[in-house]
């Protein structure tokens, strides 16, 4: 009789596979390599400083006197005050910014009241462009005489000048003083008061009545 022999078979043992671990993501640092320019390559230009402006400073003296000077010539139709003043611009002495035609228009706009109307200084001497003193101050200019004739001082060497005043004190009388019909007429039938260029008495400002068709000087005062 046969006897069965049993063989012991061990139970299988299962081992779990190892869990893979993730390593850190590698970091790549780029390598910068500098290649100097060759002789045939152009390098970038060096930065240059911004250009600076050259400033020229001009000394402008502060006026210490008034200047009586030649503006232009005109017949009696000079026009309004603004037109007469415009004749003073071309020959305005250096260093002066204020000026007016030395001319009477009316009782309220006469030479005598320039200080009140236009702020003309009354304490400065009045000189010509050649620095010749004509009067010591405004009152001296309006007192009926001057120290030097206008032609000798270089103010007006060729022409007498339109003044538009009634007296040597620079006043104008409305309706009486000859002024070429308020400086609108160039007719020889109309007259305007003029001053003489070669005298130092009252006739330097109140000399004669000239026909308005004559081209004579318009003087100016700068201050």
Each residue of 32-88: pLDDT tens digit? 554 555 555 555 555 555 555 565 555 445 779 999 999 999 999 999 999 999 999
The Cα–Cα gap between 209 and 195 comes to 9
Percent of the chain past pLDDT 70, that is, above it, reads: 73
- Say what the pTM is: 0.73
CATH class of the domain whose range is 66-222: alpha beta
Percent of the chain past pLDDT 90, that is, above it, reads: 71
The Cα–Cα gap between 91 and 41 comes to 63
Q: Is 141 helix (H, G, I), strand (E, B) or coil?
A: helix
Domain boundaries defined on the chain: 66-222
pLDDT > 50? residue 207: yes
pLDDT at 124: 97
pLDDT at 63: 76
């Amino acid at each position: 009789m046969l006897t069965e022999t049993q063989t012991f078979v061990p139970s299988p043992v299962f081992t779990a596979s190892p869990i893979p671990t993730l390593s850190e993501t590698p970091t790549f640092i780029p390598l910068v390599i500098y290649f100097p320019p060759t002789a045939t390559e152009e390098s970038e230009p060096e930065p240059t400083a911004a250009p600076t402006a050259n400033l020229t400073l001009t000394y402008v003296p502060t006026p210490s006197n008034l200047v009586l000077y030649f503006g232009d010539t005109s017949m009696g139709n000079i026009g309004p005050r603004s037109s007469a003043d415009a004749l003073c611009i071309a020959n305005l002495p250096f260093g002066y910014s204020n000026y007016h035609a030395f001319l009477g228009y009316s009782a309220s706009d006469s030479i005598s009241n320039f200080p009140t109307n236009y702020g003309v200084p009354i304490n400065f001497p009045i000189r010509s462009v050649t620095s010749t003193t004509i009067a010591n101050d405004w009152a001296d200019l309006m007192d009926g005489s001057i120290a030097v004739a206008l032609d000798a001082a270089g103010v007006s060497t060729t022409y007498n000048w339109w003044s538009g005043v009634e007296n040597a004190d620079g006043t104008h009388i409305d309706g009486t003083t000859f002024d070429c019909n308020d400086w609108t007429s160039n007719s020889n039938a109309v007259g305007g008061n003029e001053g003489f260029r070669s005298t130092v008495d009252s006739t330097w400002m109140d000399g004669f009545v000239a026909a308005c068709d004559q081209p004579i000087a318009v003087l100016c005062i700068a201050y």
